[in-house]
Amino acid sequence: MIRSLMLYSIFFINKIYKYFMDNLFSTNHEMIPKTEKEKLLKQKGICLWLTGLSGSGKTSIAKAVAKKLHIKGFITKVLDGDNIRLGINKNLSFSELDRMENIRRTAEISKLFVDCGIVTICCLVSPKKNMRTLAKEIIGKKNFYEIFIATSLEDCEIRDTKGLYKKARRGELLNFTGISSPYEEPVAPNLNIPTKGKNIEESSEILYNFVLPLISELR
């Protein structure tokens, strides 16, 4: 009886989902093209997807690069994983399913910024290859650049600015990347930034020099 009710509920939910999806129609083709917005801003809209362990320096590097670009007259938007989870994704946990949804939503938001010609810098651990692949598929391969902030687990634990690694080691944080959950390093990122022996200024300069030619061709 219970099984029958469950199967009926799934069937009913799928019917409702199909009904609504069949009645949604994209109007993207009616919008002002991305190329026209880029001409107006005199910059190319791209997404820099920074991946790396917690505490690797993703957000610090992103903010430093955004500041350098701002001084040069470029419009940027930094999407930080913590800020996203405090807002639109605050209903998500750190389960495998919710982590994937966290990536999906962030990528969809990024795509909106990129389509407006804005240089978008995303800072998310995004520990699995399939998560980063999903983000690339949503944003679009030609607009997506995977940036690996290559900081070792040892160095991240030494920094531990938020005290998260200590909590994870004590078993207070479950599914914590690098400790109780794996991190799959990018095999062929668009840019690899080894941070060993470098400060934020030096690391951000590497990313700045990488991105500047990509967004400057309209100037």
Angle at 103 between CA 97 and CA 109, to 5 degrees: 135
Alpha-carbon gap, residue 102 to 92, rounded angstroms? 7
Alpha-carbon gap, residue 207 to 192, rounded angstroms? 9
Alpha-carbon gap, residue 66 to 167, rounded angstroms? 31
Q: In what order do the strands lie in the sheet with 119-123?
A: 76-80, 119-123, 47-51, 144-150, 191-194
Q: Which residue has the tokens 């913590």?
A: 82
Q: Is 93 a catalytic residue?
A: no
CA distances from 86 to 75, 93, 99, 166 (A): 24, 12, 14, 22
Q: Residue 114 in contact with residue 79, Cβ under 8 Å?
A: no
Identified catalytic residue from 126, 152, 180, 216:
126
Q: Which residues are annotated as catalytic?
A: 126
